[in-house]
Structure 1
């Protein structure tokens, strides 16, 4: 079963890192990032976004 990524929009500071790494998954909308296509890239690419997020606003859904 593949993982689904989510963004804590309250914590997100809209730095754009996730959008630059995985634009097929994330976009900036309303002052924060959203995962508009949560399974739109390999998990390893999405994991780079999780690891690089400066406020740890990106996470795998339980």
Structure 2
């Protein structure tokens, strides 16, 4: 997955998480936590992608 695709995925998941948290009214709701964990995974992918780009240009 390229960086632009990862950024789009992160933003999509982030919006979905915010909407669900507002709907549930509870950040500790299982479904909100599950989406948050998914978001974390993609954020790590994105950070690794950016680090790889930086390492290649150094």
**TM-score bin (small chain):** 0.3 to 0.5
TM-score normalised by length of structure 2: 0.32
From the two aligned structures, give the one with the greater strand fraction. 1
TM-score normalised by length of structure 1: 0.31
From the two aligned structures, give the one with the greater helix fraction. 2
The higher radius of gyration belongs to 2
